């Protein structure tokens, strides 16, 4: 059987827009009738997602699969690195934790991991009609040339035509594109077939003859100048993106603690779509009082608890709770709200016992078994923030190590294996609760009801109608921008070349 053609998107640096462009290309080619799969050999990210069969992958690949109209699977992101404290990372291979290693030792594992990358890509090429491959960071990291598993090594293995993306919004795009190419080997340069300038604001005429000069210097065509897409609502892969979004004035303010190792912060994207809500990511006590405080997920709960204490945020959260400000903890944030965390096997740190914030009567015990599954849940309580929601059905997913017990539960979980379990804990007044469920605010009725409870506490009338939230329209928007600003004929020729056309 012939292998499916591939296109590869690499960038001059992190956060130049590779993930968004790949998502847009997945939707664009799916619209053209291709059965498309995304692929990223190695992803370093704390935003993750769960496949239907309970395997963990990077959130960006889940987004790209959704854009392609296919279900995400572990082969689309065979290696996921989740940074922890003390320069370590958990290595997730084909959706399962493989081990935790110091960063300096990771690349010694490449002989074990490279065959996994190759088999995963080959399987996708056998089962789909087109694979869109995403690189990571920059291919010009000369110190990593012999050990990298995600950029030019993948391109050489797949004989993939590479599109090199530069971010003009941060400046220096001509130098970054030219310099990246110059630092590649001649064989690697031959794989780069086209250049893309991303996030352009203003009139393209302002680029003058810069594009022609860049083409003459590099011998590569500029196949598109993609405009900056305002208000894009797709899940960010890197927490660096959080700094770009200033919160507007609104009736309600939701303060999300920006933990150093914050994970799954796309949990809060649906809140940002509500016109009466301003979401603020904070790393120090604010000068104004929010309507809601959220402790998000964390890859290193113990280390991030230390951060809360050293920054003054721990005392601030406890004071706000004592004043009646509602507080929600999700996953690692839920663990922090409890009385204590026990780590007898030293899964997370060298400390076997750590005191929590003691806002919930919960104890957490870490173990080496990682829970990754999608869930359906029923709200069990009818107090405080959740008044009127008893019996409400919500969906989401779990990604955590550790078990938390104690306190009245918030949800009854109906798991994909047909088992039932209680989740979370809540205070008697219903103003402080925690849960392991990610994706909670994606549920529109749950989201709007909780926000309307906050409005009522402020003496404001409820809105009742949730704002529409869905990423599908965003994929269409990205695909339309690419259709208008990329040389689509050039891309199709790259595909047909691989078919011998």
Tokens coding 65: 């699969």
The CATH number corresponding to 6-42+64-69+113-233+473-498 among 3.40.50.300, 3.40.640.10, 3.30.70.580, 3.40.50.970 equals 3.40.50.300
Name the residue with higher pLDDT: 336 or 142. Answer: 336
Res 233 pLDDT > 80 = no
> To which residue do tokens 């409005």 refer?
455
3-state secondary structure of 455: helix
Residue 28 has pLDDT above 80, yes or no: yes
pLDDT of 454-471, one tens digit each? 999 999 999 999 988 888
216, 178 Cβ separation under 8 angstroms: no
Alpha-carbon 294 to chain mean position: 18
* pLDDT value at residue 235: 64
Lowest mean pLDDT among 55-64, 105-114, 339-348, 468-477: 105-114
Average pLDDT over residues 436-445: 95
Q: For domain 240-457, is the CATH number 3.30.420.40? A: no
- Among 265, 264, 291, smallest CA distance to 277 is for 291
Give span(s): CATH 3.40.50.300, the chain.
6-42+64-69+113-233+473-498
Radius of gyration of the chain (CA): 23
pLDDT over 50 (residue 267): yes
Paired tokens of 172: 């220096």
Q: What is the reported pLDDT for 248?
A: 66
For residue 244, the model assigns a pLDDT of 44
pTM, entire model: 0.89
Average pLDDT, the chain: 92
Residue 125 has pLDDT above 70, yes or no: yes
- Are 92 and 55 in contact by the 8 Å Cβ rule? The answer is no
Q: Which of 230-239, 270-279, 308-317, 434-443 has the lowest mean pLDDT?
A: 230-239
Averaged over 310-314, what is the pLDDT?
96
- What is the percentage of the chain residues whose pLDDT exceeds 90? 76
Calculate mean pLDDT across residues 308-327: 97
Cβ density class 393-418: b for 16+ within 10 Å, e for less? ebebbbbbbbebeebbbbbbbbbeee
Q: Which of 15, 26, 400, 438 is catalytic?
A: 438
Location of each CATH 3.40.50.880 domain in the chain: 240-457
Question: What pLDDT was estimated at residue 465?
Answer: 92
Confidence of residue 318 (pLDDT cuts 50, 70, 90): very high
Q: Catalytic annotation on 485?
A: no
Q: Which of 331, 400, 414, 485 is catalytic?
A: 331
Question: Is position 15 annotated as part of the catalytic site?
Answer: no
Residue 242 has pLDDT above 60, yes or no: no
Contact criterion met (CB below 8 Å) for 4 and 491: no
Torsion, Cα of 196, 202, 207, 208 (10° steps): 140
What average pLDDT does the segment 206-220 reach?
92
């Amino acid at each position: 059987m012939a292998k499916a053609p591939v296109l590869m998107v690499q960038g001059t640096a992190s956060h130049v827009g590779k993930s968004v462009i790949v998502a847009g290309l997945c939707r664009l080619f799916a619209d053209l009738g291709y059965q498309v799969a995304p692929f990223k050999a190695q992803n370093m990210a704390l935003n993750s997602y769960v496949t239907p069969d309970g395997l963990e992958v990077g959130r960006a690949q889940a987004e790209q699969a959704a854009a392609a109209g296919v279900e995400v699977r572990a082969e689309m992101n065979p290696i996921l690195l989740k940074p922890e404290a003390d320069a370590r990372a958990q290595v997730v291979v084909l959706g399962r934790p493989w081990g935790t290693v110091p960063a300096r030792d990771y690349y010694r594992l490449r002989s074990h991991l490279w065959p996994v990358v190759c088999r995963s890509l080959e399987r996708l090429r056998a089962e789909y009609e087109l694979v869109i491959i995403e690189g990571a960071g920059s291919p010009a990291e000369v110190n990593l040339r012999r050990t990298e598993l995600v950029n030019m090594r993948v391109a050489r293995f797949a004989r993939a035509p590479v599109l090199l993306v530069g971010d003009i919004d941060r400046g220096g795009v001509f130098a970054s594109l030219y310099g990246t190419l110059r630092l590649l080997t001649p064989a690697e340069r031959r794989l780069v077939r086209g250049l893309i300038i991303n996030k352009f604001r203003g009139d393209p005429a302002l680029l003058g003859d810069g594009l022609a000069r860049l083409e003459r210097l590099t011998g590569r065509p500029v196949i598109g100048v993609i405009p900056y897409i305002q208000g894009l609502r797709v899940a960010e892969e890197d927490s660096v993106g959080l700094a770009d979004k200033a919160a507007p004035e609104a009736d309600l303010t939701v303060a999300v603690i920006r933990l150093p190792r914050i994970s799954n912060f796309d949990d809060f994207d649906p809140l940002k779509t509500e016109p009466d809500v301003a979401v603020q990511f904070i790393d120090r006590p604010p000068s104004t009082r929010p309507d809601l405080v959220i402790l998000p997920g964390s890859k290193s709960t113990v280390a991030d608890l230390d951060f809360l204490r050293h920054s003054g945020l721990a005392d601030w959260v406890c004071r706000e709770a004592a004043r009646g400000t509602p507080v929600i903890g999700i996953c690692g944030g839920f663990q922090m709200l409890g009385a204590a965390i026990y780590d007898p096997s030293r899964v997370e740190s060298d400390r076997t016992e750590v005191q929590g914030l003691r806002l919930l009567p919960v104890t957490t015990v870490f173990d080496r078994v990682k829970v990754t599954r999608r869930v359906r849940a029923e709200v069990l309580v009818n107090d405080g923030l959740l008044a009127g929601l008893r019996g409400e059905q919500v969906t989401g997913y779990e990604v955590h190590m550790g078990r938390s017990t104690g306190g009245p539960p918030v949800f009854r979980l109906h798991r994909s294996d047909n088992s039932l379990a209680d989740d979370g804990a809540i205070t008697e007044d219903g103003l402080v609760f925690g849960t392991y469920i990610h994706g909670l605010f994606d549920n529109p009725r749950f989201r709007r009801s909780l926000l309307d409870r906050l409005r009522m506490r402020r003496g404001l009338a409820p809105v009742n109608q949730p704002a529409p939230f869905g990423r599908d329209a965003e994929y269409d928007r990205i695909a339309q921008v690419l259709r208008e600003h990329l040389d689509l004929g050039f891309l199709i020729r790259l595909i047909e070349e691989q078919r011998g056309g």
